[in-house]
Amino acid sequence: AQSVTQPDIHITVSEGASLELRCNYSYGATPYLFWYVQSPGQGLQLLLKYFSGDTLVQGIKGFEAEFKRSQSSFNLRKPSVHWSDAAEYFCAIMDTGRRALTFGSGTRLQVQP
Amino acid sequence: NAGVTQTPKFQVLKTGQSMTLQCAQDMNHNSMYWYRQDPGMGLRLIYYSASEGTTDKGEVPNGYNVSRLNKREFSLRLESAAPSQTSVYFCASRAPAPELAASSYEQYFGPGTRLTVT
C-alpha cells in the first residue's frame, strides 16, 4: 500500500527566509504526487503536481517542488516566505486505480515577522 | 461556476442521531470522493464514486453510507452518529481521465463540513 510521510509537524520561519517542507512517499511504481495548502478554516488548494517528465515542478504562489526518485522524496520549496504563506501544507500521492489521494499528516507553517 | 459545494458548514449532533452531508459539483466530473480530516492525520478516504450509480469503500468506511443518485451529487450519511465521527468532512471531485491529460488527475475540494458529535 502507498503511504506519505511528512516528518515535520510544525515549522517556523521568518518572513523573507527560504522554506523547504519535506515529503517522503512509499509506492511501487511511478507516483503521481501533489502538494496542497489549507488556510485555517478553509478547504484545500492545489499548489502543484508531478506526474512525469521534468523533476522540478513549478506551482502557484511562487512554490516549487523537486521529485527525487532515488530518495522517494517530493520536497516543497519557496525562496522567500511571505506572512500570507502561514497555513498547513499537505503532500499527497494518488493511487492508479481509484485515483484517490493518500495524504501525509501535514506540516503547519508559522511565519514570524 | 461554483465548483464543489457542501452543506451544512457546521453541525452538532448527539450520539445516535443521524444526518446526511450533501455535496454537489457543477464541473461535470465523473469521480467524486468523501474524505475526513482529523488532527495530526491528514485526510483519509471514506468512500468514492467513479460514476453515477457506483460507489466503493475507501480507507475508513465504517459507520457511513453514501449515495450517488446523479452525476452532480454525492451524499454521505451517518445513520447513528458516534463521538469518533467528530471530524471535518471534505467532498472532492475529479475530471474524467484520458490518460495523457495530466490536468484530469486534479481533485477539486469543497469548503468542508465541521461535524461535532457529543
**Could you tell me if A49 lies within 8 Å of chain B, comparing CB atoms?**
yes
A19-75 pLDDT, tens per residue? 999 999 998 777 899 999 999 888 899 999 998 888 999 999 999 999 999 999 999
What are the backbone angles phi and psi of residue B105, rounded to the nearest 5°?
-85, -10
Pick A43's closest partner by Cβ from B40, B50, B90: B90
Cα–Cα dist A69/B18, whole Å: 46
Q: Is A98 in contact with B94 (Cβ distance < 8 A)?
A: no
Q: How far is it, in rounded angstroms, from Cα A76 to Cα B59? A: 26
Q: What is the pLDDT of residue B39?
A: 85
The beta strand positions in chain A, using DSSP E, are 3-5, 10-14, 19-21, 24-26, 32-38, 44-50, 56-58, 64-68, 73-78, 87-94, 101-103, 107-112
Question: In whole angstroms, what is the distance from residue B85 CA to residue B15 CA?
Answer: 10
Average pLDDT over residues B77-84: 97
How far apart CA B44 and CA B64 sit, in angstroms, is 13
User: Chain B residues with CB inside 8 Å of A102's CB?
Assistant: 45
Beta carbons of A61 and A83 less than 8 angstroms apart:
no
Query: C-alpha cell of B7?
Result: 452543506
Pairing relationship of beta strands B10-13 and B113-117 according to DSSP bridges: parallel
For the stretch B89-100, pLDDT in tens is 999 998 776 554
Taking residue B96's Cβ as centre, other Cβ atoms within 10 Å add up to: 11
Nearest CA distance, A19 vs chain B (angstrom)? 21
Q: What is the pLDDT of residue A48?
A: 93
pLDDT at B100: 47
Retrieve residue A66's grid coordinates: 523537486
d(CA A1, CA A27): 7
In this complex, is the C-beta atom of A51 within 8 Å of any C-beta atom belonging to chain B?
yes
- What pLDDT was estimated at residue B101? 54
pLDDT digits (tens, 9 = 90+) for A83-101: 999 999 999 999 877 778 9
Sign of CA dihedral B95, B59, A24, A105: positive
Q: Do A105 and B105 touch (CB under 8 A)?
A: no
For residue range B8-59, list pLDDT tens digits in order: 999 999 999 999 999 999 988 889 999 999 988 889 999 999 999 999 999 9
Higher pLDDT, A54 or A105: A105
Contact list, A106 vs chain B (CB under 8 Å): 40, 42
Backbone dihedral angles phi then psi of residue B84, each to the nearest 5 degrees: -70, -10
Q: Where are the alpha helices (DSSP H) in A37-100?
A: none
User: pLDDT at position B99, please?
Assistant: 54
Choose among B62, B66, B84, B85: nearest CA to B74.
B66
Question: Which residue on chain A is closest to B59 by alpha carbon?
Answer: A102
Shortest distance between the Cα of A26 and any Cα of chain B, in A, equals 16
When CB atoms are compared, the residue of B58, B90, B105 closest to A49 is B105
Are the Cβ atoms of A105 and B50 closer than 8 angstroms? no
Contact A94 B105 (CB under 8 A): yes
Residue A51: the pLDDT is 84
Indicate if the pLDDT at residue B102 is higher than 70.
no
